[in-house]
Amino acid sequence: MTMFERVAAAGVSIARQAHIRGLETDLARLTAEMSSGRKADPARELGVGAALLYRLYDDIQQGEALKNATSLAGERLKATQTALDSVGALMDQMSPEILKTDVLKGNGFAIIASNAREILGSMTDLLNTHWDGQNLFGGTDNAQPPIAPATALLGWAQDQKDLAAASGALDAAGAAGLIGSFDAMFANVQRAADGSSFYGLVYRSASRTDMAGSTDAESDAPSRVRIGAGETLEYNVRADNQSFRDAFKSLSLLSLLDAPAAELDEDARAALLDEAGELMRGARAQLTVLAGVLGSKQQRLSNVAAIQDRAIAAATAQINDLEGTDYYTVSDRIGTLRIQLEATYAITARLSELSLVNYL
């Protein structure tokens, strides 16, 4: 036998061993795919179509991020809506009190003033609601609670009443002048006497609503939630909303009704009560609108979340189709590989039984 013939025979043997290892590797891979139900390397099998698989994974990742953002925003809006409902309940509680003066007679004004102070404190607490690291009614500013303690406004109101009644008991005309001081402060006009204004005395957040009459307020962008590619949902529920301003103004006026007769006569009390009643009714109507608008934002977020769920489910189903094992095809392939392996093993065994003479 020549050297070439011996090398050729060795090459055949090596090739056969490599073929066996390849068959064994394919059999092990297919068996694992059959067991897991997933292709071992779907991108390789898809070839240029693998771009679709990568895009689907990217869609799911972005969808999950949007879903998490909308879910968190939805919970935040839910907490805001709950606080608004509680504020509305306080307004509803105060409105009938304003109408009870004729029934309660002399004690009526004192009871209303006491209740107004308590409700003002409760409303302040609600508008300072802190949820998940954010002041719900502070806009984009979370450095501090948006509303100052109720004592600040109540103290200012008492000071204004004392100043107006310094020369004697206020009558209806004097009450109108006192109301004018409240109008100026809540319109955020700086007062020469004490420099007080709504922004600073009552509302302390740096994030402000752009409102008519707020001449020195710097408006801020509304809160935004990303709900899609290049699409955001905006909402604006800050504690300087006109509804809350009117409610604070009403309650601070009502807090003065238990002043002694030497400071307020009956006509002055009636004038303050009428003004406060109008303000509270207007505040309640505006709050209903505000809550309704916020409710529509909540519904939009809920719809977006449902759409994201469906999109993620569709992308996941496509990935499963692309990566899932075709059991019938794999089973047939495994059977074929086993036959090939058995045949190869048999041939190898037969060759190993040949004598050197027969082999040569």
Residue 45 lies in a domain: no
Residues 299 and 162 in one domain: yes
Q: Are 214 and 199 in contact (CB under 8 A)?
A: yes
Residue 184 lies in a domain: yes
The model carries a pTM of 0.72
Residue 249 lies in a domain: yes
Structure tokens at 99: 């109408």
Residue 57 DSSP class: H
SS3 50: helix
Per residue in 47-62, pLDDT tens? 666 777 777 778 788 7
Residue 194 lies in a domain: yes
Count of the separate structural domains present in the chain:
2
**Beta-carbon count within 10 A of 150 CB:** 22
Per residue in 121-135, pLDDT tens? 999 999 999 888 889
Residue 144 lies in a domain: yes
Residue 322 lies in a domain: no
Residues 137 and 260 in one domain: yes
User: Which range of residues forms the domain containing residue 348?
Assistant: 327-360
Per residue in 290-322, pLDDT tens? 999 999 988 888 888 888 888 888 887 777 766
Q: Are 46 and 322 in contact (CB under 8 A)?
A: yes
State the burial class of residue 40 (Cβ atoms within 10 Å of its Cβ: 0-12, 13-18, 19+): middle
Sequence length of the chain is 360
Q: How far is it, in rounded angstroms, from Cα 66 to Cα 57?
A: 14
As a 3-state breakdown, the chain gives helix, strand, coil percent values, each rounded to 5, of: 70, 5, 25
Backbone angles phi, psi at 338, to 5 degrees: -65, -40
Residue 80 clears pLDDT 60, i.e. is over it: yes
